[in-house]
Amino acid sequence: MFRPLSLAACAALLLAPLAALASADPHSYAEPGRVRVTHADLDLQVDFDRRELIGNVTLTLDWKDEAAHDLVLDSRDLAIRRIVAVQADGKAGAALPFALAPADKELGSKLTIVAPKHPARVRIYYATSPQASGLQWLQPAQTAGKRQPFMFSQSEAIHARSWVPLQDTPAVRFTYTAHVGAPKALRVVMSALNDAKHPLDGDFRFEQPQPIPSYLLAIAVGDIAVRETGPRSAVYAEPPVADKAAREFEDTERMIAATEQLYGPYRWGRYDILVLPPSFPFGGMENPNMTFATPTVLVGDKSLTSLVAHELAHSWSGNLVTSAAWRHIWLNEGFTSYVENRIVEAVYGKAQADEEFLIAAHELRDEIGAMPENAQRLTPEPRGLGADDALSDVAYTKGAWFLKTLEQRYGREVFDAYLRGYFDHFAFQSIDTGQMLAYLKANLVDRHPGKMRWEEIEAWVYQPGIPADAPLPASPRFARIDAERADFLAGKLAADKLDAHGWNTQEWMYFLDRLPEAVALDKLQALDAAWRLTGTPNAEIGMRWYVHAIAGGDRAAWPAAAEHMTRIGRIYLTLPLYKAFAKTPEGLAYAEQVYAKAKPGYHPITQAAVERVFAKARKAGGKE
């Protein structure tokens, strides 16, 4: 049975060498307690014809164990050509023997480099696989501009190892430089300082002077235009999308300033946003200096720009202070979701911030009881936990809810000062939950006694479920929507009489989220006739509507649902439709037809998620 750490153990962990913590990462073969990578120098060529990155990486090493004879790295599907020690003048020296172990399905292949003389640097010559799990290669037809190919990376959780051999654990932070060759007329961007005025000459150089974990290593190449949105921010996007994206994200500088007012200076120099093609599997990825974002938030009314607030918040929680292993990922995502909500409140008002939190909180409450107990904990036991498994609503929403509880108990002024101190104290470090709790006790709980019992804090972190007294904000607009929904379902209010003309995106999301799982077909058809939900350009509303339409038997909505599924590769907005279709034999057959057409435009991560849905449905139907 999992036992929470004692206060003494928490204090010990606060002082423990990070090398000891890093060695406990079950999702990495690396042994950073023996030798640690401190810098990476990439020299890569982008080959769209072969769908490969070809070149080398030079790793700077800090040998910590005199008895160590090997450097162990993570890799996945890499063609390792040769490895050499690097001389003081930067030239290749003696070749180093190496062994690439058979591949594990999740972890990839352990790369062991024999280096008993402890070279200060090693250079690895390699090429990626066309099927690299962390890269997606798009044909021109799969882009917005239809003229040029596009490639982008997605390294979180443990996909960086599919395009660079390295110590792929969040416990190891390193600086990096890169030289990237690409076809002329295409722009290369990375999770580093980018030059908006760089000539499109096929020769790009980058520097990331701050130490980052491997999952924040990122690259993209394509027909990318730039629009400035502030003195230290810009939007990068395909030309047909650039102006729309710049208008949608024009409040970025206000968000940066609001966060600095709360939690201290932005320490990364620039904050730019790259809007990717629709196949990007996530809403956003907080790559330092260059957030990667989905185009599904470009709805024209800024109602979904909390995504930018979330990725910006990672510049403090996650990128600045990082969880040392994936089972502690709530230290990234829970803190970030809390800070995101505070940014939204500062820029767009408390009503919108409260609505967004209530949507997330209700969704978690609806789902958490069906999760295994271990998955309900902020810090789950590592046994059987995949790296991606930890990235659930528990880490995001329960983590933020815990911090909201602390804010309520200690007061906003006190809690803001604590959180700002936390970011300063652990800046550019990777930590675990024990270290966070030790700092919390010393700097909040002990300094302000009587506000919250330590047992309550431990229950939030280590126990399953959500405490019964978890606070929720009040929303008068949501209360009115609840009443109208109840009257509509009871037949007391016609669909066209709903007072929905002024509903924002969040309010439509809330109305649809709280409908029963199965709504009568005639009521669904009346809703659609009154409010034209089928075919909506708003993907958040569309996802929710199509799930209800499929469940209710509204086959007239199937073609529009298929278009949504084909156009959007973001897992969160697409997978629920596949799950809804897969509940019936005819729906499953239709979804399989849609997937056959959509698959080439999906990221490998999205493909794997959809195929798991099909496999589960076939097994339940006795076909496997």
Q: Give the DSSP H/E element, type plus range, for residue 46.
A: strand 35-47
- Burial code (b: 16+ CB inside 10 Å, e: under 16) for 498-527 equals bebeebebbbbbbbbeebeeebeeebbbeb
pLDDT at 409: 97
pLDDT at 21: 41
Q: For residues 571 and 554, what is the distance between their CA atoms, to the nearest angstrom?
A: 23
What's the CA dihedral at 518, 520, 525, 528 to 10 degrees? -40
**Which of 283, 315, 347 lies at the terminal end of a domain, its last residue?**
315
pLDDT at 391: 79
pLDDT at 605: 87
Residues identified as active-site: 311, 396
Same domain, 372 and 417: yes
| Among 106, 186, 109, 80, CA closest to 143 | 186
Q: Is residue 16 part of a domain?
A: no
**Which of 434, 462, 490 lies at the terminal end of a domain, its last residue?**
462
Residue 452: pLDDT above 90? Answer: yes
Q: Is residue 126 part of a domain?
A: yes
Q: For residues 72 and 74, what is the distance between their CA atoms, to the nearest angstrom?
A: 7
Q: Is residue 341 part of a domain?
A: yes
Same domain, 326 and 309: no
pLDDT, average across residues 69-80:
98
What are 380-434's pLDDT values in tens digits? Answer: 988 777 777 777 899 999 999 999 999 999 999 999 999 999 999 999 999 999 9
pLDDT at 304: 86
| Among 34, 505, 443, 124, CA closest to 299 | 505
What are 99-110's pLDDT values in tens digits? Answer: 999 999 999 999
Query: What CATH number is given to the structural domain containing 288?
Result: 3.30.2010.30
pLDDT, average across residues 525-552:
96
Is 564 annotated to bind a ligand? Reply is no
pLDDT at 214: 98
What are 133-167's pLDDT values in tens digits? Answer: 999 999 998 898 999 999 999 999 999 999 999 99
Q: Is residue 467 part of a domain?
A: no
Region of poorest pLDDT, from 235-249, 277-291, 338-352: 277-291
Which SS3 state, helix, strand or coil, does residue 117 take?
A: coil
Confirm if 276 and 218 have CB atoms less than 8 A apart.
Answer: no
Conformational region of residue 189, where left means phi above 0, alpha means psi within -120 to 50, and beta covers everything else: beta
Query: What CATH number is given to the structural domain containing 373?
Result: 1.10.390.10
Same domain, 292 and 329: no
What are 315-363's pLDDT values in tens digits? Answer: 999 999 999 999 999 999 999 999 999 999 999 999 999 999 999 999 9
Q: For residues 270 and 219, what is the distance between their CA atoms, to the nearest angstrom?
A: 16
Same domain, 160 and 82: yes
pLDDT at 623: 59
Same domain, 493 and 585: yes
Same domain, 233 and 357: no
What residues make up the domain containing 561? 476-620
DSSP 69: -
pLDDT at 362: 95
pLDDT at 5: 34
pLDDT at 171: 97
Confirm if 570 and 281 have CB atoms less than 8 A apart.
Answer: yes
∠ Cα 147 151 154 (to 5°): 150
Same domain, 218 and 137: yes
**Which of 315, 342, 359 lies at the terminal end of a domain, its last residue?**
315
Q: How far from chain centre, in Å, is Cα 509?
A: 21
Same domain, 42 and 190: yes
Q: Which two tokens stand for residue 292?
A: 């990667």
pLDDT-above-90 percentage for the chain:
87
pLDDT at 622: 64
Q: Is residue 277 part of a domain?
A: yes
Q: Is residue 19 part of a domain?
A: no
Is 314 annotated to bind a ligand? Reply is yes
Residue 22: pLDDT above 80? Answer: no
Same domain, 508 and 393: no
Query: What CATH number is given to the structural domain containing 212?
Result: 2.60.40.1730
Confirm if 151 and 218 have CB atoms less than 8 A apart.
Answer: no
pLDDT at 624: 52
Confirm if 420 and 263 have CB atoms less than 8 A apart.
Answer: yes
Q: For residues 393 and 409, what is the distance between their CA atoms, to the nearest angstrom?
A: 23
Which SS3 state, helix, strand or coil, does residue 539 take?
A: helix
Confirm if 153 and 163 have CB atoms less than 8 A apart.
Answer: yes
Q: Is residue 102 part of a domain?
A: yes
Residue identified by tokens 């003309």 is: 501
Report CA-CA distances (Å) from 588 to 129, 458, 579, 610, 616. Answer: 32, 43, 9, 11, 11
For the chain, the average pLDDT equals 93
Q: How many CA atoms lie within 13 A of 371 on its CB side?
A: 21
Q: Which residues pair with 56 in a beta bridge?
A: 43, 125
Sign of torsion, CA 397 402 404 405? positive
Same domain, 138 and 187: yes
∠ Cα 139 141 143 (to 5°): 80
Quick one: pLDDT band at residue 455, thresholds 50, 70, 90? very high
Same domain, 104 and 215: yes
Confirm if 92 and 67 have CB atoms less than 8 A apart.
Answer: no
Q: Is residue 10 part of a domain?
A: no
In total, how many domains does the chain have?
A: 4
What are 503-531's pLDDT values in tens digits? Answer: 999 999 999 999 998 899 999 999 999 99
Q: For the residues of 440-461, what is the DSSP string, one character each?
A: HIIIIITTSTTSS-HHHHHHHH
Residue 18: pLDDT above 50? Answer: no
- Burial code (b: 16+ CB inside 10 Å, e: under 16) for 251-280 equals bbbebbebbeebbbebebebbbbbbbbbbb
Query: What CATH number is given to the structural domain containing 541?
Result: 1.25.40.320
Q: For residues 324 and 316, what is the distance between their CA atoms, to the nearest angstrom?
A: 15
Q: For residues 192 and 492, what is the distance between their CA atoms, to the nearest angstrom?
A: 57
Is 260 annotated to bind a ligand? Reply is no
What are 28-46's pLDDT values in tens digits? Answer: 999 999 999 999 999 999 9
Same domain, 449 and 551: no
